[in-house]
Amino acid sequence: MQSQTKIRWGIIGLGNIAHKFATDLLTVEDAQLYAVASRSRKTADEFSKKYNAIKAYGSYRELAEDKNVDAVYIATPHVFHKENTLMCLQQGIPVLCEKPFAMNINEVEEMIALAMEKKVLLMEAMWTYFLPHYQHVLNILQKKEYGNILKIEADFGITPEYNPLSRTFNKALGGGSLLDIGIYPIFAALSTLGIPNKIEASAKYFETGADASCHIQFYYDKNVKATLNSSFVDNTPTTATFYCEKATIKINRMFFLPTTVTIVTDKDEKTLDFGYKTLGYNYEAIHFNELIRQGKKQSPIMSFDFSRKLITLLDKVRSEIGLEYNLE
């Protein structure tokens, strides 16, 4: 049961993103990092000491069966999201699951169905949605302060050191640029323009079979287009630019992280700084805590409907580029 004071969090999967989430969770007043779980007890012990967690488990199931856990953050590789989420939902634990929610729409539907059956809160951890700069841009675009969107350009390209055994390049773990980082440009288009009428996409591949890069075009009514790119072989600007009738709104470098926004009109140019003090993961944690305290079963922002649309677009792009995963 939820504690009366702080919501006691568990983290399953203790890789890089779990460290970032734990770092920011320490800044959330009504939250406590209560338990962490890894397949390695040594890893769990080290992580718990670093972030002052009370419990450290050498298996995910042990954490799921701990009745003191009020919420769990799932940060395992993509291919395990469904399995780990279902395990926690069966125990009645609210789940914040890293993006992509799962590997395909069928897995996502299975997760949502169980959450609804058990009446347990479930949300995809698309943390960018909750960042103040992104919410500010969404508000401007939705109000059409600078007219309609004419086109979007968004990219995410980085060059991690190639290691065919690492999660990033391992197709068996859902590796590749599309699901790992291409989801962010696609999210930018979906959250502002919605579902496109037509999709074109092409990709290049690593020898592991994971996609090295993706070039994607979304086509909408009135000749509106979104050009989206992801890459593990090129460093790109990592910006999201919205070309409107009366201004260009640019979310600057690493647009999916806490960053600045530049708005250019015929009259002037201004850059907005949102004064971030954290890595940015605290915003989704605060939102999730509020949902728990209010007894909500899904987020009005990162809703089931939005997650369905997002994974459906990823599935369609995968179909366009011929990317298939062998899922049991």
Q: Which sequence positions are flagged as catalytic?
A: 99
Specify whether the CB–CB gap between 277 and 20 falls below 8 A. Answer: no
Specify whether the CB–CB gap between 28 and 11 falls below 8 A. Answer: no
**C-alpha–C-alpha distance, residues 21 and 280, integer Å:** 9
**C-alpha–C-alpha distance, residues 172 and 219, integer Å:** 31
Which token pair is 269? Answer: 């140019």
What single DSSP character describes residue 141? H
Q: Which helix (H) or strand (E) element contains residue 62?
A: helix 60-64
**C-alpha–C-alpha distance, residues 287 and 326, integer Å:** 35
Could you tell me how many residues make up the chain? 328
Burial class (CB in 10 A: 0-12, 13-18, 19+), 142: exposed
**C-alpha–C-alpha distance, residues 53 and 198, integer Å:** 47
Specify whether the CB–CB gap between 163 and 157 falls below 8 A. Answer: no
Count of alpha carbons within 13 Å of 38, Cβ hemisphere only?
15
Tell which residue, 195, 158, 162, has the closest CA to residue 180.
158
Q: Is the alpha carbon torsion for 191, 151, 104, 83 positive or negative?
A: negative
Residue type, 143: K
**C-alpha–C-alpha distance, residues 306 and 292, integer Å:** 20
Q: Is the alpha carbon torsion for 255, 258, 259, 262 positive or negative?
A: positive
- CB atoms near residue 321 (< 10 Å): 18
